[in-house]
Structure 1
């Protein structure tokens, strides 16, 4: 994958920090007691980097920047183009498409509860801060997403010339010539993204709120199946965020995991498509071939299509995949029996499920949809039109 010289140097710098101080240091945190997260008591607060404490002013600025199309090379594309609120901040496409129409090899991951993710991409264990992750869509060139490379001065000038942005940057970062900067832009974006918290699904009201009527009997039966040893779902999709990679204030240590789910087995030895090899692309370790993060299942009914490459269209199809213990592709360049992938997770062993049990499991997964999150006006587009003029 080719990158611009600027971006390559930035990544090398970030990686050198990770390698020199260790991943543990990447999670050094500040107190979040001064910011009102408005969370139920059962939900812990996210960890916030010490160099970017939360504030309402940063969140407001970040929300405007998240939906700001003028940051993109075409002036018609924003972060929200790939992360649509009504779809739990996904885009409904198999793989993401950037501002210029160039396709990304990966499915747009949901941003729901992104603040609780210790790693922020499908398969890169080194990108651990939202402030750093923002550089990838902003400045990556293969594929182009936002297309901001070489336009840094132009973008800052646009923000400087906008009275409302000048006011918001000053409120968030104080007065001074350096208030409007790319560093502060990413800090504001990260602050807004940390507020994308989903905690009010029917299942939340049932399990944590004590409302026995919040979900159907079918969903209750599906919950039991989900947490059964025969299906093994909970091993990779357990806990408050329905993922085994999680970080928050109540954890004594960071939990990070990647898994090979037997989605491919191109050569009979476990190979995945060359542009989607998982953690292997970072480590070059054969055992990391095809290992990807287990994403949150919150709002999963809204985030089709599924898997890291969007190659399974429906939730029912995902269940079929795991029921078979891996996917078999009969023809084409990716043909192979994923159930026989020698590198797949021990939890992907297959199981038997009746049609009624399958419907119960689907009912449970649908109970994880949080409509207050997908309709929350505080998370919606604050811009009145494509020009980027803000509505306060």
Structure 2
């Protein structure tokens, strides 16, 4: 069974009273519309109803959300509360959440790396090699879909089921056979009894997989990053960016480099939604960027061919979701398989219009000639100075307050 098909299979493995997928079935209708450079929308929520200005301000306060950042879409079935956030933070860093008690969510998502992990692809708790690079979690609450390439995961609650419950490959390994053992660890722990009771006061059933997922989602939604040099520039401090970074900003949004076609708006990705997004204006974009062209027939490595592994449509070979570029300086290596090491190499890849993997190497082929490559990836001529400027601009998206914010840190290490 392939990695992606396994992800689809385990969506139906939640063992609580209501499955997450059934709760999500009414959400987010795909659209062919494109977002503008600064993403805005009419006040029709995709998954959250804001009852009043006071409620909105309460939510902004809970998220410590600055005024220039839109309110993220919080699903009605899992309203944000301080208690769920606290429980989620404890769970995120607790190795008791893995079947063999060797890994936690924090084992592949380090705060110092903007909640990426600094390696090409991680290893699961039982030694299984994963095929996807661990994405950073900066502003993940604004994602329209989740994981690198799955068009059926519309909420964090969907995605979190995967690393916890997947059995091929195993990440945390909480399979059906291990679930009761893992839940009993929390139900027999006095501290967790208090945390679960506070987070879910209307339930006396103790820990459950849905409560764990809902709490983790609540914590991860608080990971708002909005205090980079770019943000300060956006708010009026024109000295916050260097002349080189301003040049890079102009090139990034120009028709020569064309970065903005896939990386636009406040979160630098067209895969975006917030509390004001109109359902049928939300994009679910996945692109083939010419990273591979195995056998010169448009294929990507068999281990991971993107959306194709779900659809079996050849036109979907190599299609992956464009990630947010927030804190991109900290989340190397890059691409879905971690196969590009530096931001300069990323820009050079797009300047060439696709990557050349020479004959004799694994996955040989010229991605520039991939027949399924996005029409946006045409290549362009760029000087060294221009590439340096774009890289410098991307580095201006680093938020050092975010990676040192104690509210995202490991609570088990506190005195």
- Contact 2:253 2:259 (C-alpha < 8 Å) held by counterparts: yes
SS at match of 1:186: helix
Partner of 2:90: 64
Q: CA–CA distance in 2 between the matches of 1:28 and 1:109?
A: 24
Q: Establish whether residue 204 from structure 1 lines up as the match of residue 231 from structure 2.
A: yes
- State which of 390, 398, 406 in structure 2 corresponds to 1:369: 398
- Contact 1:48 1:54 (C-alpha < 8 Å) held by counterparts: yes
Are the structure 2 counterparts of residues 17 and 184 from structure 1 closer, same or farther at C-alpha, using a change threshold of 3 Å?
closer
- Contact 1:206 1:213 (C-alpha < 8 Å) held by counterparts: yes
Deviates more, 1:127-136 or 1:176-185: 176-185
- State which of 309, 317, 338 in structure 2 corresponds to 1:281: 309
- Contact 2:150 2:307 (C-alpha < 8 Å) held by counterparts: yes
Deviation at 1:74, TM superposition (A): 2.9
- Contact 1:30 1:53 (C-alpha < 8 Å) held by counterparts: no
- State which of 15, 21, 29 in structure 2 corresponds to 1:24: 29
Number of aligned positions between the proteins: 384
Are the structure 2 counterparts of residues 63 and 7 from structure 1 closer, same or farther at C-alpha, using a change threshold of 3 Å?
same
Are the structure 2 counterparts of residues 5 and 363 from structure 1 closer, same or farther at C-alpha, using a change threshold of 3 Å?
closer
Deviates more, 1:68-77 or 1:239-248: 68-77
Q: CA–CA distance in 1 between the matches of 2:358 and 2:408?
A: 43
Q: Unaligned regions of 5+ residues in structure 2, if any? A: 31-44
Q: Establish whether residue 177 from structure 1 lines up as the match of residue 204 from structure 2.
A: yes
Q: CA–CA distance in 2 between the matches of 1:145 and 1:226?
A: 36
Are the structure 2 counterparts of residues 238 and 8 from structure 1 closer, same or farther at C-alpha, using a change threshold of 3 Å?
closer
- State which of 313, 329, 337 in structure 2 corresponds to 1:301: 329
Q: How does 1:103-118 map to 2 (within 5 A)?
A: 103-118=129-144
Q: CA–CA distance in 1 between the matches of 2:365 and 2:78?
A: 47
SS at match of 1:292: coil
Partner of 1:162: 189
SS at match of 1:169: helix
Q: How does 1:226-237 map to 2 (within 5 A)?
A: 226-237=252-263
SS at match of 1:48: coil
1:233-264 deviation digits (Å, cap 9, x = unpaired): 00000111000100002322312211000000
- State which of 378, 382, 392 in structure 1 corresponds to 2:407: 378
Are the structure 2 counterparts of residues 6 and 116 from structure 1 closer, same or farther at C-alpha, using a change threshold of 3 Å?
closer
Partner of 1:387: none
1:55-103 deviation digits (Å, cap 9, x = unpaired): 0110000000000111113322100111111101000110121112211
- Contact 2:46 2:277 (C-alpha < 8 Å) held by counterparts: no
Deviation at 1:333, TM superposition (A): 3.4
Q: How does 1:227-376 map to 2 (within 5 A)?
A: 227-252=253-278, 253-331=281-359, 332-376=361-405
Q: CA–CA distance in 1 between the matches of 2:277 and 2:358?
A: 44
- Contact 1:306 1:318 (C-alpha < 8 Å) held by counterparts: yes
Q: CA–CA distance in 2 between the matches of 1:14 and 1:326?
A: 41
SS at match of 2:13: helix
Deviation at 1:27, TM superposition (A): 4.8
SS at match of 1:361: helix
Q: CA–CA distance in 1 between the matches of 2:27 and 2:406?
A: 39
- Contact 1:326 1:340 (C-alpha < 8 Å) held by counterparts: yes
SS at match of 1:259: coil
- State which of 8, 13, 35 in structure 2 corresponds to 1:10: 13
SS at match of 2:306: coil
- Contact 2:138 2:224 (C-alpha < 8 Å) held by counterparts: yes
Cα RMSD, aligned residues only: 2.3
Partner of 1:52: 78
Deviates more, 1:328-337 or 1:28-37: 28-37
- Contact 1:18 1:126 (C-alpha < 8 Å) held by counterparts: no
Q: CA–CA distance in 2 between the matches of 1:285 and 1:19?
A: 25
Q: CA–CA distance in 1 between the matches of 2:84 and 2:20?
A: 27
SS at match of 2:146: coil
- Contact 1:4 1:141 (C-alpha < 8 Å) held by counterparts: no
Deviation at 1:296, TM superposition (A): 0.5
Q: CA–CA distance in 2 between the matches of 1:199 and 1:356?
A: 28
- Contact 2:12 2:21 (C-alpha < 8 Å) held by counterparts: no
Deviation at 1:147, TM superposition (A): 1.1
Partner of 1:41: 67
Q: Establish whether residue 102 from structure 1 lines up as the match of residue 102 from structure 2.
A: no
Greater RCO, CA 8 A, separation 6+: 2
